[in-house]
Structure 1
Amino acid sequence: MSESESDSEVFDAAAATELVKKLRRSFTTGTTRSYEWRVSQLESLLKLSLEHEEDLCNALHSDLSKPVLESIVHEIALLKGSCKLALKELRRWMAPEKVKSSITVFPSSAAIVPEPFGVVLIISAWNYPFLLSLDPVVGAIAAGNAVVLKPSEISPRTSSLMAKLLEKYLDTSAVKVVEGAVPETNALLEQKWDKIFYTGNGRVGRIVMAAAAKHLTPVVLELGGKSPVVVDSDINLQVASRRIIAGKWGCNNGQACIAPDYIITTKEFAPKLVECMRQELENFYGKNPLETKDLSRIVNANHFDRLTRLLDDDKISGKIVHGGEKDKSKLQIAPTLLLDVPRDSLIMTEEIFGPLLPILTVDKVEDSFDIVNSGTKPLAAYLFTNNKKLKERFVACISAGGVAINETALHLTISTLPFGGVGESGMGAYHGKFSFDAFSHKKAVLYRSFAGDAPMRYPPYTKGKLRILKALLGGGILGLIRALLGWS
C-alpha cells in the first residue's frame, strides 16, 4: 500500500486541518511565490505528461474505456499545451500592470500587482480526470499558490496514478493530493481555504458554495447544463453532422459538460438532418456501435441506470429514430437520436451527460431562441448556419458560458478565450492567462513620494479649499486653474 493510499484511508477532519496548517506554513515561507519555484513545478508537470503518456492512457481506458486518441488529444496534449503556455508567458503574467494615476494624488504612480491567494483547494471531475484535475493546478501553481487536489473517486485508476505521480514530480511541501470519496471531500470542505475551484455538477456545486460561504471563501464553479445546438437549413449538412457527432459522441461518448445536449431545427429540415446523422454515425462507429473501440463506455452502473431511466420515460415512447441499443454488462449505450421529444420529458428536464441526443422541431429556426432562453443558462451554445444576421442575433441574444458558430466543443481549446459558465452553468473562468487570473488576487497599489502634499485636504475646511477641491475633482487641471484665477 502506498503512502497516499494509507493517508486516504484515515483522512478525516483532523487530518484535513493538519494538512491545511502544513501547507499554510509552507506558503508563508514565500517559496511558492518565487518565479523559479513556479517554473520548476510547471516543468515537472510537463515532464510528467511526457514520460507517462502510456500509463495515463491505460488508466483512462481502465476508468472509461477511453480511446487512446481521445486520451492523448483531449486530455494529455491539452495539459501539455497549458504547461508550455504558462512557462512561456509566466514572467509577463507575474509583472505588475502599470495603470494611470489621478490628478488628485499628483505626483504618483499606480499598478495592479497579481499575488497568490494562498492555499487553494481543487476538486475535480471524473469525465476528463487527468485534464480537469491538472489544468486548474497549472493555473494555481503559475499564480504561486499552495495546492490541495481532490481527484474524483469515480475514476479511481486515474486518481491513484495522479496521486503517485504528483508525489514523485512535484514539491510535496506545497502540492498535495487527497484521494477518497464523500467523507474526504466533506473533511476538506470544512477547512478554511483561500480559494476553491470545483468542476462537476450543480448539486455538488451548491454544497461547495455553501461550505465556502461559511468562511467567505471565493469559488470558481465549473458546472454544466443543457447545451443546445440550433441547426439552420442553410448549411453544409454533412460537415455540420460530423461536427455535432464529434462534439457529442467524440467527447467521451457524451459524458462532457460542453457536449451537445439537444438539437433544435425546423420541422421541414429535421428528416434530412436525422438521415445524414444516421449515415455519419454508421460511418464512424459501424453498424453495431456496441462493439466499436472508438467510443468510451458509460462510467459506471449508476450512470448507466440513470440514462436508461431517461430512455424508459413513457413520454418519449416511440421517439427513438436511431440507436437505443444498450448492454449493461459492457456499460455501453449506442449513440441514440430521438425526434420530437416533449419538452416536459425527463430527457429534456435534466442534463443528459451521455450518448442520447434529442431533437426538437420548430416552425422556423428563430423560434429556437425562446426555447433556449426559457431554460437555465447553458455552459455552451452552438449554432449552425450561413445566415449572418442569425449568427449576430444568436450571439447577442443567447446567454451561455461560451458560444461556437458552425462548430461544437472546440472553443475550449483556444487559450485566449475564457472557459466558464454563467448562472447555473457556473461562475468564474479559466484556461490560458484566465487560469492564472483565477488563482490571483489583483492587488491595487499606489506609490507616492513626500512631495506634492496639498494643504486643501487637511482641516480647517475653508470655503476656498472646498472651491479648489471641487474644481480639481470636477475639471482636472483646467478646472483647478480656473478656480485659482477666480474664473467661473
Structure 2
Amino acid sequence: MGSFGNMERDLENMRECFRQGRTKEATWRKSQLKGLLTLMKEKEQDIFKALQEDLGKHYIEAFRDEIGTVTKSLNTALESLKGWMSGRKAKLPKIALLSTAEIVPEPLGLVLIFSSWNFPFGLSLEPLIGAIAAGNAVVLKPSELSPACASVLANNLPRYLDRKAVKVFQGGQAVGEELLQHKWDKIFFTGSARVGRLIMSAAAKHLTPVTLELGGKCPVVVDSLPSSWEAKANFNLNNDVMVICLFDFFPTANQKVAVKRVLVGKFGACAGQACIAVDYVLAEKNFAPTLVELMKVTIKEMFGENPKETSSISRIINKGHFLRLKNLLKDPKVEASIVHGGSLDEDNLFIEPTILVDPPLEAAIMTEEIFGPLLPIITLEKIEDSVQFINSRSKALAIYCFTKNKSFERRMVSDTSSGSILFNDVIIQYIADTLPFGGVGESGTGRYHGKFSFDTFSHERAIGRRSLLTDFWFRFPPWNIHKLLLLESAYNLDYLDCF
C-alpha cells in the first residue's frame, strides 16, 4: 500500500520501475492478471463481507455484479493478451515505395485510477485489469465512502500483485487532491460529473489524458407492447418438435418480463445507486396505470410484503446520500406524485422502492441524477414523443427501450445519442467484453471493458521502415513545375487506388 507521507518517493520509484521495462514484459502482465484471479477466488468471502458491511449487498448480487464480472474479465484478458499485445501491419500508399509500417500498442507509463463506492471492486479492478494488461505501473485510489471494501483492496492487492508497480492509496479528499498534484500518463476516473470536472481541470496542468466514467439520468422507454405481434415458431432439429414461443404471443407476458427487467435495473442494481441504473421511465399516458399495477405486483414478488425486511435490496451508502434522497421527496408536488412506497428509515439507511407518476419536470428529482430507489414515471401522449424528451436533456450513459416496433427502434438509434442503447433489457451491456462501455457528453468521455480497456491504457505507436535503395527524386527541392506535375500524378495514383 502506498504511503501518503511518502507519496513523492513512492511515485518516483514506480516510474523507475516502469522505465526499467519491468511492466512491459508479457510474463509480468500475465503473472499480475493471474494474481488478481487468485485474489478473487481466495478472498471471495472477504469481498462478500465487505460489500455487505458497506452497502448491504446480498452475496448473490455481489457475485453477479462484481466477482462474476471481474473474474470473467480476467479470464478474457489472459486468453487474449498475446493478440492484444501484437502489432498489426498498416497499408501504405504507393508513393511510399519500398516501405513497410505497423501499429504497435505500448504502455502509457504511470497511470492513476479513481474508483467509485457503489461497485467498489468492479469499478476498481475492471480498469486495473486493462492498465496491467497494457503494461503500465498503476496507482489505485478506492473510494473512502466504502471503507470496508477499500481496506480489502489495500490489504490484499500488495499480497497478490507486484507492490513495486501497483500501489493502493487509501484516504479521503486530501489524498485525492494530493495525487492530482502529480504528473500522470493517464487518469481514469469513475464518479460524478461535478468531481469529473475537477479531475479534468487538474489533469490539464500536465496535459494528462483523462477517461471519465460519469453517469446521468438514464431513461427507460416502455412501449405499451400491443397485442398485434405474431407467435414465433422454433424448430428443434433433433426431434422436429415445434415449440411456440408464448412470450411473443401474449402481450401480458411481454409486459411482465419488461417490468421485471426495468425494476431489477432500478431497485436490484445497488438500490439504484449505479451509473447505468434506470433513472426514470417514459410511457404513454393510457398505458401508465397498467404499468404501475404491474410494478406494484412485481416489487412484492421481488422484495416481499415488507421490503425493509428483505436482504435482497442494498442500503443507501451513508447518511449524507440518504438525506439527499429524502430531500428529493420533500417538495409537496413531488410527494403528491408517489403512487407506491415512499417510506424511509434513516437509522438503517433504508428507502422503500418508490414509484412516482408525473412529478414536476422542474423538480430536483427530474433534473438531478437520482442514484437511489426512487422511480419517476413520466407520461406522454404517444411513445414517439420520448425521442424529443430524451433529446431535451443531457446525453445519458445508457438509454433503455422496450418495444417491438422496429420502426420506432430505428428512430431511437438514429435520432438520439447516448453512451449505449439497449432494447428490451437493461444493464447487461455492462458485462459484454466485446462492447465498449463509456459515456458521451455529460455522461463521460472514453471507454473500457475487454480489449477497449487495454486500448484505453495504451498508445498506438506508428512504426515505419523505408529502404535506402531508391527514392522519388521529385520530392526534394529545388522546385519547378515538372516536379509539381509528377507529385500530382503520384498522389492521384494513390487516391484512385483507394476505390
Q: Quick check: 1:90 aligned with 2:81?
A: yes
Give the C-alpha shift of residue 395 in structure 1.
1.1
Give 1:277's aligned residue. 295
Q: Deviations over 1:282-319 (max 9, x none)?
A: 01101110111101100000000000000112231311
Contact 1:290 1:326 in 2 (8 A): no
Residues 1:299 and 2:317 aligned together? yes
Residue equivalent to 2:256 = 238
Which runs of 5 or more residues in structure 1 are unaligned?
A: 480-488
Structure 2 portions without partners, runs of 5+: 226-250
AA aligned to 1:210 is S
Is structure 2 residue 335 aligned with structure 1 residue 314? no
2:179 pairs with 173, 183, 188, which one?
A: 188
Query: How far apart are the structure 1 equivalents of 2:486 and 2:312?
Result: 75
Which AA in structure 2 matches 1:307? L
Cα offset for 1:399?
Answer: 0.6
Tell whether 2:424 aligns with 1:433.
no
Which structure 2 residues correspond to residues 365-444 of structure 1 after superposition, within 5 A? 365-444=383-462
Q: Secondary structure at the match of 1:297?
A: coil
1:455 aligns with 2:446: no
2:9 aligned partner: 18
More displaced 10-residue stretch of structure 1: 302-311 or 17-26: 17-26
Instruction: Give the Cα–Cα distance (whole angstroms) in 2 for the partners of residues 427 and 447 of structure 1.
Output: 34
Matched, 1:357 2:375: yes
Question: Match of 2:275?
Answer: 257
Q: Is it true that 1:219 corresponds to 2:237 in the alignment?
A: no
Query: Match of 1:33, as an amino acid?
Result: K
CA-to-partner distance for each residue in 1:250-290, whole Å, 9 max, x for gaps?
A: 11110000000000101100000000010000011011101
Aligned to 1:467: 485
Tell me if the contact between 1:16 and 1:191 (Cα under 8 Å) persists in the aligned partners: no
For the Cα contact (< 8 Å) 1:103–1:477, is it kept in 2?
Answer: no
Taking the aligned partners of 2:47 and 2:368, their CA distance within structure 1 comes to 32
Q: Secondary structure of 1:401's match?
A: strand
User: Which whole-Å deviations, capped at 9, do the CAs of 1:172-215 have from their partners, x for residues lacking one?
Assistant: 11000000000000000010000000000000000000000010
TM-score by length of 1: 0.95
Write the distance in 2 (CA, Å) between the matches of 1:326 and 1:273. Answer: 24
| Match in the other structure for 1:483 | none
What's the CA shift string for 1:309-335, capped at 9, x where partnerless? 001122313111111111111100010
Does residue 446 of structure 1 match 2:464?
yes
Which residue does the alignment assign to 2:104? 113
Q: Tell me how far apart the structure 2 counterparts of residues 336 and 281 of structure 1 sit (CA, whole Å).
A: 10
Over residues 361-381 of structure 1, what are the superposed CA-to-partner deviations in whole Å (9 max), with x where a residue is unaligned? 010001111111101000010
CA distance in 2, matches of 1:190, 1:119: 14
Corresponding residue for 1:141? Answer: 132
Q: How many pairs were matched up?
A: 470
Q: 1:175 aligns with which of 163, 166, 172?
A: 166
Shift of 1:18: 2.2
Q: Match for 1:18: what amino acid?
A: R
Provide the rounded CA distance (Å) in 2 between the counterparts of 1:447 and 1:157. 53
Aligned to 1:125: 116
Aligned pair partner of 1:208 in 178, 199, 205: 199
Structure 2 Cα separation of the partners of residues 325 and 187 of structure 1: 41
- Answering whether residue 329 of structure 2 is matched by residue 338 of structure 1, we say no
CA distance in 2, matches of 1:283, 1:218: 47
Q: C-alpha distance in 2, partners of 1:240/1:26?
A: 51
Question: After superposition, what is the alpha-carbon deviation per residue over 1:96-116, rounded to whole angstroms, capped at 9, x for unaligned?
Answer: 111101112111111111000
What secondary structure, in the 3-state scheme, does the structure 2 residue paired with 1:317 have? Answer: helix
Secondary structure of the equivalent of 2:92? Answer: coil
4+ residue runs of structure 1 moved beyond 3 angstroms?
476-479
1:286 matched to 2:304: yes
Q: Name the Cα RMSD after superposition.
A: 1.2
